[in-house]
Amino acid sequence: MDFWYSIGSTYSYLTVMRLPEVERAHNVKFRWRPFDVRHVMVEQNNIPFKGKPVKAAYMWRDIERRAQRYGLSPKVPAPYPLPGLVLANQVAMVGVNEGWVEAYTRATYKRWFEAGEPAGEEPNLSSSLEEIGCDPSKVIAAAQSESIANALSAATEEAMALGVFGSPTFVVDGEVFWGDDRLEDAVLWAESS
């Protein structure tokens, strides 16, 4: 099952932090697929929270309520939006290639939501990479390369072609399930396929 996500998506925190438990409980495997949700939203003229304080306040309270149910302890509101969104996801693309995308994503979300350190910026970036045993300067240089920028762009185009319009999204046999609250529906669909 493909797990399309973008570091920078607030609701993806809930999914990122509980996905390993869901995999164990349901004997399913997720393929972590980072993409640039900001590009998708701009393409669709969909800026969900800018200039919408009531909706933004609801989002933070909703995340807080749902996190409590999952045993998570975010400090909300977390810094948002993320100026370093693209770099954070380019680092994730390096992680896809090198096999540590899940560990990096979980570390950076934890620092973002539980320590107030914006993902894609210092100290989150280097600390998250060091925590998982990576050399920050090497990884950041690779993340800023043209090949990784192109890989993130290609992944974003692939996501859009599949009908992905937000993060998190799960794709199972061509079926699209959007939102952390659709994770269980996606798992049930995978189990019944």
Confidence of residue 180 (pLDDT cuts 50, 70, 90): very high
Answer whether 193's CB lies under 8 Å from 173's CB.
Answer: yes
Q: Output the pTM of the full model.
A: 0.95
| pLDDT value of residue 50 | 66
Taking each helix axis as running N to C, give the angle between helix 183-192 and helix 12-26, from 0 to 180 degrees, rounded to the nearest 10. Answer: 30
Q: Which amino acid is at 128?
A: S
Q: Per-residue pLDDT tens for 37-58?
A: 999 988 877 766 667 789 999 9
Q: Per-residue pLDDT tens for 74-87?
A: 999 999 999 999 99
Mean pLDDT of 10-34: 97
Residue 186: pLDDT over 90: yes
| pLDDT value of residue 44 | 75
Q: Which residues, 6 or more positions from 139, have their beta carbon under 8 angstroms from its beta carbon?
A: 91, 94, 129
Q: Tell me if the bond preceding 34 is cis, omega within 30° of 0.
A: no
| pLDDT value of residue 42 | 84
- Using alpha carbons, select from 16, 6, 12 the residue that is nearest to residue 38: 6
Please classify residue 155 by burial: count the beta carbons closer than 10 Å to its beta carbon, then call 0-12 exposed, 13-18 middle and 19+ buried.
Answer: buried
